[in-house]
Amino acid sequence: MKLSLSYKFLNIVTVFAVTMLFSCEGYLSETQEINKPQKMPVGIAENFVLKYTDSTKLKAVVSGPIYEDYGNQKFPYRVFPDGVHVDFYDDNNQKSVVEANYGIIYLDTELIDMQGDVVLKTHDGKQLNAPQLFWDQQNQWIFTEGDYTFTSPDLNMKGVGIDFNREFTVVSSHGNTGTAVVKESDSTSTK
């Protein structure tokens, strides 16, 4: 009788422990979520306009509907979740424009990632369209590994992967097709 009573007690304890374990499991995910560090921005701006200058000379004007500053994170960044518009000015005060549906600036690496219908228009009529475009601010280098379309007064091309300097004077495309206008030289050689 003692042995059977001890088995019954052991079975009751096991059933109780299993029941407690499963009843707490539903709260475990909620508890983990509460204890997760939250990413809260240190600042949010609506309908913002940011002006960047260098030696009192206007270099860029960044604008958009929402700007969130996560400078308080281990790897700080700034986000433009609802789109961004940037006017860039060169040394001759000529304006080029870039627009995207989403943008993020990584502060430590000074890399800007623009995504969604990215359009870059230069002051001299060049235009680049891509789903994603990166700008390395330190090296003044722009690149994408995705599809792109580039048009200018004398060149039209499409491809996958392109990188170039800010002035479009040094361009490296990784695979493209297109057309180019080639001007013939006025001088003819005679023998």
**Lookup: tokens for 124:** 């001299």
The residue that leads in pLDDT, 138 or 35, is: 138
Whether 44 shows a pLDDT value over 80: the answer reads yes
Question: Is the predicted pLDDT of residue 152 greater than 80, yes or no?
Answer: yes
Q: What are the structure tokens assigned to 18, written together?
A: 């299993």
Q: Please tell me the predicted confidence (pLDDT) of residue 110.
A: 86
| Percent of the chain clearing pLDDT 70 (strictly above) | 72
* Single-letter amino acid code for the residue at 191: K
Give the Cα separation of 152 and 35 in Å (integer): 53
pTM here is: 0.70
Is 99 in contact with 88 (CB distance < 8 Å)? no
Q: Which amino acid is at 143?
A: F
Q: What is the DSSP string of 35-73?
A: HSPP---SEEEEEEEEEEEETTEEEEEEEEEEEEEETTS
Query: Which token pair is 148?
Result: 């792109």
